[in-house]
Amino acid sequence: MRMRLPLEWIAALRFLGQGRVQTSFIIAGAAIGVAVIAFMSALLAGIQANTIRRSLLSQAHIVVRPAEEIARPLRLAGTEEATVQKRTQRVVSIDQWRKLRDEIRRMPGVSVASATVSGSAFAIRGEASKSVLLTGIEPEEYMRVVPVADKITSGSARLASTDVLVGSELAHDLGLRAGDKLRLVAPSGATAVLSVTGIFDLGSRGVNERNVYVALRTAQDLLDLPGGASRIEVTLDDIWEAEKVSRAIAAQASLQADSWIRTNEQFFLALRAQTIANYAIRFSVGVAVALGIASVLVVSVVQRSREIGILRAMGASRRQVMGIFLIQGGLVGLAGSFLGTFAASLLLAIWRSGIRNADGTPLFPVTLDPTFMAWAALAATVVGTGAAITAARRAANLDPVVAIRG
Amino acid sequence: MGEAVLRLEGVRKSYEAAEALRTEVLHGIDLTLAPGEFAALIGPSGSGKSTLLNLVGLLDRPSAGRVIVAGEDTAALDESGLTRLRGRSIGFVFQYHHLISAFSALENVMMPALIARGRPDDEMRDNAARLLESVGLARWSDQPVNRLSGGQQQRVAVARALAMRAPLVLADEPTGNLDTKSADGVFEVMRAVNIANGTAFLVVTHDPRLAARCDRVIELVDGVIVADAARDPGFSPGARRAGDGRESASTRS
């Protein structure tokens, strides 16, 4: 009582201090709950961030394409075609793509917009031939969408009009090394012989097998799209804005704009499901902790009913008595959250040191966000206080006469 | 002779288990306690002593009649008004001391003031230390109360009952749980306070030795006061306070 705390705080602290065993059990319970939540959330956030990062490594956040070509049957009076065949989709250029690209660049939330020409082609070397996805890029810009330059495993990312960058799988299949020549043949029959300046590894087998990067001009020539661009690839400051921005782009011009969320719907749904499962687990653990705190405090009210009665007889108001127990609940929650986040950071440290990739690098970064810790402390305090409501009301409603007579 | 610290007028109390089962425990009690009186309330078990004490202590309300504490008619007060009046005007000493075990002796004595004022302060602490000294427990003030003997604990309870300088202290079997020597110690302390401060005491007791040493004995049988007499034939509340009281206290000790 050296400190000048209000009565409710002094009594709450003393009661907790006196029931040391009970108090430490319930704080341990709360701490385990918080630790499980913190550890799981950090792990899941790490996994998700890592999966997203990996899968977005080789693709743009938004891909803008010309609108789909639709067959419009002529309608003559009295006659109607019985079947309307769907049109095949040709590689066509986006109308005024330079202007559009510059407009997209100026849109809020957009960090890079880069024009590409892409279509299928064959990569031929000697006897071997592979079907590839040929993409003509503006190297400077495109490297900021897909960081090919950072992922070059041999050679360099230099890309002049006679150069080509190939993936590691394709290089393996065709026996290519940096400096070798590679012949690309477009469906139209157009052919170009290019020299392999670099081999990249974008972390996905499919991408490494199929993607081939050339200069924009080269692709325009091969795919017979002189001066055109078939796609504008966009990266954003915030990947979760992709849907919003893609709708804004599509609304601006009669174009098709697909966000990564839409093109990777399955993947995205899986992430969603994971997040929901995490919330469900957090909620259940929170409820379990709250029930634990509540039951211990209710028992404590029964144990202390005489003391509560005497406090009431000495003039303590219902509010003061209630405050004593609410504060106990809050303090237990708060203490539990501190211990719990500490335990979680220990667990994460063990995780980081114990579980690594084959090459010894960390599997993915898992860290406890300081704001998460602040939220955990706040939430645990609120949950603890909430859990104490039943006990506090019981205490406040004790009839001093009955309580004192015991 | 100031205003009465306690006045009961036609107080009745009945309990109702069911509509048909209405039991009246107190049948119209009239009682006045003047400042500085030291009265014993005696009577057989079930006579209504505890019920009466609960009414006087504002822990319960009468079914009929008026309870006036320190000049304030309690019928007009709501729950929190009663709680405030109780905190200010009435000190309690119970049979089982009812100290709060999580606190030291000194802190227990500070408790009523702490409840009233919300936060501890130096004046509260000094006052509690003085009270503990007056009940002979200065040495034990920092001890947790459950390390003290039964008699010591009851003396702490007396000191606590006096912390708010309440004009009236209600004691329910204050020595019922103690050996003779400790009981005497507790009684001496209460008596000394009564004489020094003019605090009125109403002591419920089964102990005839204790009752015999009070100024006034009120006997309750089956919910009715059957006898109410000053123990000392020459006793009159107004005359006793300064002279006789001190003298008799010193001759006793």
Contacts of B153 (CB under 8 A, 6+ apart): B97, B99, B145
What token pair was written down for B224? 């009715």
Q: Domain B35-61+78-252 has what CATH class?
A: alpha beta
For chain B, the residues whose C-beta falls within 8 A of a C-beta of chain A are: 50, 54, 57, 59-60, 79-80, 83-84, 86-88, 92, 94, 96, 98-103, 107, 110-112, 114-116, 118-121, 125, 160, 164
Q: Which pLDDT does position B243 carry in this prediction? A: 38
- Which pLDDT belongs to residue A81? 62
Query: 3-state DSSP call for residue B157?
Result: helix
Can you give the pLDDT at residue A405?
65
Q: Over chain A, what is the mean pLDDT?
A: 86
Which chain A residues touch B86 with a CB distance below 8 Å?
313-315
Cβ pairs bridging A and B (under 8 Å): 78
- The per-residue pLDDT for A366 is 73
Contacts of B98 in chain A (CB under 8 A): 306-307, 309-310, 404
pLDDT of residue A310: 85
Cα(A238)–Cα(B51) distance, integer angstroms: 73
- Chain A residue numbers with beta carbons less than 8 Å from the beta carbon of B102 are 11, 14-15, 17-18, 307
Amino acid at position A77, single letter: A
**pLDDT number for residue A250:** 86
> Does the beta-carbon distance from A7 to B121 stay under 8 Å?
no
**Contact between A317 and B120 using a beta-carbon 8 Å cutoff:** no
Within 8 A of A7 by CB-CB distance, chain B residues are: 114-115, 118-119
Q: Enumerate residue ranges in chain A where pLDDT < 50.
A: none
The distance of B15 to chain A (nearest Cα, Å) reads 14
- In this predicted structure, what is the pLDDT of residue A362? 64
| Partner residue facing A7 (CB), from B57, B118, B125 | B118
Residue A323 neighbours by CB distance under 10 Å: 21
Considering only CB atoms, B115 lies closest to which of A1, A315, A404, namely A315
Q: Is A401 in contact with B59 (Cβ distance < 8 A)?
A: yes
Query: How near does any CA of chain A get to the CA of B89, in Å?
Result: 10
pLDDT at B65: 92
| Neighbour-count burial of B251, counting CB atoms closer than 10 A to its CB (0-12 exposed, 13-18 middle, 19+ buried) | exposed
With CA atoms as reference, the chain A residue closest to B97 would be A310
- The confidence score (pLDDT) of residue A171 equals 92
Residue in B171, B232, B218, B174 with CA at minimum distance from that of residue B199: B171
Beta partners for residue A125, in sequence order: A128
DSSP A317-359: -HHHHHHHHHHHHHHHHHHHHHHHHHHHHHHHHHHHHH-B-TT
Q: Which two tokens stand for residue A350?
A: 């063990």
pTM assigned to the model? 0.70
Instruction: Looking at the complex, report in whole angstroms how far the Cα of residue B76 sits from the nearest Cα belonging to chain A.
Output: 18
A202 CB-side CA count, 13 A: 27
Residues 6+ apart with CB under 8 A from A14: B102, B103
Say whether B115 sits in a helix, a strand or coil.
Answer: helix
Residue B7 pLDDT: 93
From chain B, the residues in CB contact with A405 under 8 A are: 50
Mutation target vs A (from B45, B119, B142; most A CBs, 10 A cutoff): B119
pLDDT value of position A82: 65
pLDDT of residue A122: 93
Task: Give the model confidence (pLDDT) of B15-58 as tens digits.
Answer: 877 667 788 889 999 999 999 999 999 998 888 888 898 899 88
Query: Tens digits of per-residue pLDDT, B125-150?
Result: 999 998 888 888 888 889 888 888 88
Across the interface, whether the CB atoms of B115 and A306 are under 8 A apart is answered: no
pLDDT at A406: 53
Give, for all 253 residues of chain B, the pLDDT tens digit: 468 899 999 999 988 776 677 888 899 999 999 999 999 999 988 888 888 988 998 888 999 999 999 888 998 899 888 888 888 899 888 777 678 888 999 999 999 889 888 889 999 999 999 888 888 888 888 988 888 888 888 889 888 888 888 899 999 888 877 788 888 888 888 888 888 888 999 999 888 888 888 999 999 999 899 888 875 544 444 433 333 433 333 333 3
Q: Where are the domains of chain A?
A: 7-54+268-405, 97-253
Nearest Cα residue in chain B from A315: B87
3-state secondary structure of B59: coil
The predicted pLDDT at position A352 comes to 79
DSSP H/E element including A132: strand A128-137
pLDDT, tens only, A325-384: 999 999 999 999 999 989 988 888 888 777 766 666 666 777 777 888 888 888 889 989
Contact B115 A7 (CB under 8 A): yes
pLDDT at A49: 82
- Round to whole Å and give the CA distance between A177 and A184: 16
Query: At what angle are helices A318-354 and A305-313 packed, to 10 degrees?
Result: 140
Q: What is the pLDDT of residues A115-154, one digit of tens each?
A: 999 999 999 998 888 999 999 999 888 988 888 888 888 8
Give the CA distances from residue B72 to residues A87, A190, B3, B84, in Å, rounded to whole numbers and listed in that order.
98, 110, 11, 12
Give the rounded distance of the alpha carbon of A184 from its chain centre.
38
Return the pLDDT at A79: 66
